[in-house]
Amino acid sequence: MSLRVTINAMGAGGDGVAQLPDGQVFVPFTLPGEIANVARDKNRASLMALLETSEQRVEPSCRHFEDCGGCALQHWEMSAYQAWKRSLVAASLDGRGLKYELAPLVPCAQQSRRRATFAIRKTEAGLLLGFNRHQSHELINISECAVTVPAIISRLDDLRKVAIHLADGAKPFKLTVTDTESGLDLAASGCPTPDDAARRILTPLMMELGFARLSVDGEIILEPKKPLITFGKVPVNIPSGSFLQATIEAEEAMVALVIGHFKKVKKAADLFCGVGTFALRMAETMAVHAVENDAPALAALDRGIRHVQGLKPVTHERRDLFRRPILYKDLNAYQGIVFDPPRAGAEEQAMQIAKSSVPKVAAVSCNPVTLARDLAILVKGGYKIDKIIPVDQFLWSSHVETVALLSKK
């Protein structure tokens, strides 16, 4: 049975929100002010028909929008969308009672995301490669994508040629594709390791198509070329599946913010450093101690710095900062700290930073909620928030990256 609703607001997850007598109902692909007929299932609903549309509704950029679950907000006019995304950061900070200056959102260009994780399944009609429908396990076969770099999307048919030899019957699996300077890096998961017969087919095929590497669940199957990403002056052979910022433009913007904040810093620590996104660029002007729990990422960073001249000293340490945060007495050796943890944030490490006397701190996060929690800890410890900069590197999604710059006298 259909239900007529008015969309009152946009939820934090990118769905329109209708306020009904018995609570909120979330309706994907709607905008504030719109009136719609929906099919309700508890606190979620499917859009059946739009009766009145918002003036902010625009034509989506991709033919797969609403079918493919990759994007949530292509139908929203850009300035309104960006204001909403900026408000997600403000709401989390306000919820902690923080005082801050919120900078304009750093925008994201279309077709700039350098990594995509495709869902794949073999069917009687052929191989499906794409993304799952919104709130569904149904796989939508795609022919274009408005957010992913052309270097990946232009090779969809070639990716299917490789994926067909990894498929195990009708069982779905994932293929993460990263655009690197040496070619596309393919990392499959959830499928069997290719047997000898499959490898005999895949070896010349990978060479012919010019792909850099193929791995399955972290095991390298073929590596015709080492996948390289350059951070500042340092080319790094990235491990399979290693963390990267979603877009090069966002990465460079965030690094510039951190380095600008560290102008007078001579010695800094990069916590949760990954393969060296911040550390290797910072090392051009300051000594850096890089800390990370991922051994392959640290090994890649180490190999990178061994062959580059002109950098300040870079040391590194493998350490689980969730279980063993660096103590404040040891942090006092640095004039600057940048930390970029996973979505869970860095609560324990933030407590130690708060006790330290480090003059400059930069916090980077893809989760405004845990970032606000960590910033509240730092502020309680005597830090002042100089500026908050939201970065939209996850275009048309509900995710937003944030850089927070703090100081302590």
Binding site: residue ranges? 245, 272, 292, 340
Burial class (CB in 10 A: 0-12, 13-18, 19+), 317: middle
Distance (Å, whole) CA 96 – CA 295: 35
Distance (Å, whole) CA 222 – CA 234: 24
Distance (Å, whole) CA 224 – CA 280: 26
Mind spelling out the 3-state secondary structure of 41-99? ECCEEEEEEEEECCCCECCCCCCCECCECCCCCCCECHHHHHHHHHHHHHHHHHHCCCC
DSSP state of 307: T
Sign of CA dihedral 291, 292, 295, 297: negative
> Furthest-apart CA pair in the chain: how many Å?
69
Other Cβ atoms within 10 Å of 49 Cβ, number: 10
Q: Tokens 């606190």 appear where?
A: 43
Contact between 77 and 56 under an 8 Å Cβ cutoff? The reply is yes
In the set 68, 108, 191, 366, the catalytic residue is 366
Q: Which of 335, 333, 367, 372 is nearest to 350 (CA)?
A: 372
Q: What amino acid occupies position 382?
A: G
Binding-site residues for S-adenosyl-L-methionine sit at: 245, 272, 292, 340
DSSP state of 356: S
For 152-207, where are the E strands, in sequence order?
A: 173-180, 183-189
Mind spelling out the 3-state secondary structure of 340-352? CCCCCCCHHHHHH
Q: Tell me the CB-side half-sphere exposure of residue 322, using CA atoms within 13 A.
A: 8
366 carries an active-site annotation:
yes
Q: Which of 365, 361, 364 is nearest to 351 (CA)?
A: 361
Residues with catalytic function: 366
